[in-house]
């Protein structure tokens, strides 16, 4: 079974890039462009990993992470925050909101997959190899 990755990202170019990189690695990708749809999609699809943009319209990524963590079956789903805010304290804020890890934009296509994997639990990495 393919590893399922839910992306929540409002920017088309970033979505295209993330989606392209993940599909190239044979992941199943679900694309959502807002926090609201992202949360609903997470409940329906129960992804293995959630990639979460922090700068989203209406509901920002911190709030999205908090809401996802309130959902019992998503309590332990890895959430990787992706953000171009380079403000001190952002990483801490993302982690406090429930994110598992944090990747800074701009996305580096050569290192993105390994950056993402560095935040994932061993059992999931094992599943990815099979
Ligand atoms: Mn954004």
Q: What is the pLDDT of residue 121?
A: 95
Q: Compute, in angstroms, the gap from residue 25 CA to the centroid of ligand 1.
A: 23
List Cβ neighbours of 50 (8 Å cut-off, separation of 6 or more): 5, 6, 7, 8, 38, 42, 68, 77, 78, 79, 80
Q: What is the pLDDT of residue 89?
A: 83
Q: What is the pLDDT of residue 90?
A: 85
Q: What is the pLDDT of residue 128?
A: 87
Q: What is the pLDDT of residue 130?
A: 72
Q: What is the pLDDT of residue 27?
A: 97
Q: What is the pLDDT of residue 112?
A: 97
Number of CB atoms found within 10 A of residue 88's CB: 7
pLDDT lower than 70: segments of the chain: 85-86
Q: Compute, in angstroms, the gap from residue 56 CA to the centroid of ligand 1.
A: 5
Q: Compute, in angstroms, the gap from residue 86 CA to the centroid of ligand 1.
A: 14
């Amino acid at each position: 079974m393919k590893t399922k990755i839910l992306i929540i990202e409002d920017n088309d170019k970033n979505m295209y890039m993330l989606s392209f990189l993940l599909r190239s690695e044979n992941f199943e990708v679900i694309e959502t462009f807002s926090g609201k749809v992202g949360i609903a999609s997470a409940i329906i699809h129960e992804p293995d990993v959630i990639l979460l943009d922090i700068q989203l319209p209406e509901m920002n990524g911190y709030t999205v992470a908090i809401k996802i963590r309130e959902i019992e079956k998503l309590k332990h789903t890895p959430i990787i925050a992706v953000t171009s805010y380079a403000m001190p304290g952002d990483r801490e804020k993302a982690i406090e909101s429930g994110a598992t890890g944090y990747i800074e934009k701009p996305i580096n296509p050569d290192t993105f997959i390994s950056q993402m994997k560095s935040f994932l639990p061993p059992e999931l990495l094992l599943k990815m190899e099979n």
